[in-house]
């Protein structure tokens, strides 16, 4: 006779309070959403992962800025329409508030790296 122990997963509402978007992210999402029909579903899947592990796990996530109040993370995002992980998403994780705010979304084929000026501007606005 074998025994199984189960550990209940944290509910989305328990672990992550909210997900927010910047205006620039909304524009990026709308533009890419026209090309890639599965983007809504793909983002929802990513949110489920981030709800349990906000800074991600594995090689698909990298923290590009770290301070006591905020972490900026760059992640590879899977897109079913593309059948790969060639989308990149940049987001801010506020550990105290348990909040994630999406900053940028781009297709790796169109743009080599994240918009560092956008990130600097975002951080400057958070400091004020």
The CATH number covering residue 65 comes to: 3.30.2310.20
pLDDT tens, residue by residue, 63-105: 999 999 999 999 999 889 888 778 999 999 999 999 999 999 9
SS3 category, 98 = coil
Query: Is the model's pLDDT at 4 over the cut of 80?
Result: no
Q: Are 25 and 105 in contact (CB under 8 A)?
A: yes
Q: Are 75 and 88 in contact (CB under 8 A)?
A: yes
34 domain residue, yes or no: yes
pTM recorded for the entire structure: 0.84
Which residue range is the domain that position 37 belongs to?
A: 17-127
45 domain residue, yes or no: yes
27 domain residue, yes or no: yes
Q: Which two tokens stand for residue 89?
A: 């998403």
Q: What's residue 16's pLDDT? A: 62
4 domain residue, yes or no: no
Q: Residues 47, 48, 53, 57: is their CA dihedral positive or negative?
A: negative
Number of domains within the chain: 1
Tokens 């905020």 belong to: 70
Q: Mean pLDDT check: name the lowest of 2-11, 77-86, 87-96, 110-119.
A: 2-11
């Amino acid at each position: 006779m074998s025994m199984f122990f189960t550990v209940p997963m944290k509910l989305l509402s328990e672990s992550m309070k909210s997900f927010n978007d910047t205006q620039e992210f909304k524009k990026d999402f709308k533009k890419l959403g026209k090309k890639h029909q599965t983007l809504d579903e793909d983002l929802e899947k990513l949110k489920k992962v981030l709800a349990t592990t906000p800074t991600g796990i594995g090689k698909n996530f990298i923290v590009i800025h770290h301070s006591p109040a905020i972490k900026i993370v760059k992640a590879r995002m899977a897109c079913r329409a593309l059948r790969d992980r060639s989308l990149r998403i940049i987001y801010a994780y506020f550990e105290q508030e348990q909040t994630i705010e999406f900053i940028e979304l781009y297709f790796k084929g169109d743009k080599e790296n994240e918009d560092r000026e956008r990130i600097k501007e975002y951080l400057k606005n958070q400091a004020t």
